[in-house]
Amino acid sequence: MNKTTQMKPFSPMLSGIFYAFVALAILTLITSIILKFSSMKESSLDTYVYLIHGLSLFIGGFISGRGKGTKGWYYGGLLGTVYCILILMISFLGFDSLILTTKSMMFLVLSFLLGAIGGIFGVNFRK
């Protein structure tokens, strides 16, 4: 049999990062609207920010793992690491905050784990 391979226009990592940032933008917009029109306090916003990042990482890892088809934990974890580094760079450049703190290292570890879990689900969803 003659099997032809199809070229994908984007790599699974690039697609995963794109979808992670799209999810981040949409979830941030929804949270802003809820904050504006409800009695939600800004003091609880830290919790929602971490939930938004976690869900965005899971979605990005899922897309990356599903696109690659193998080693979902690896590609999802790599996506989580790249996502975290990009967020920390934006934070440093935009707000002049320190990059290497205990909080940022914990964010890096959790980003890797959530991306890896998303990648595992993405690979298994494909089958």
Q: pTM here? A: 0.82
Pair 23, 57: CB distance under 8 Å: no
pLDDT of residue 13: 85
* Binned average pLDDT, 10 residues per bin, the chain of 127 residues: 54 89 94 86 82 94 87 89 89 76 88 93 81
Pair 61, 122: CB distance under 8 Å: yes
pLDDT of residue 5: 52
Specify the residue for token string 């690896």.
Answer: 74
Q: What is the dihedral of CA 10, 90, 83, 15, to 10 degrees?
A: -20
- Residue 91 CB partners (closer than 8 Å, separation 6+): 97, 99
pLDDT of residue 10: 63
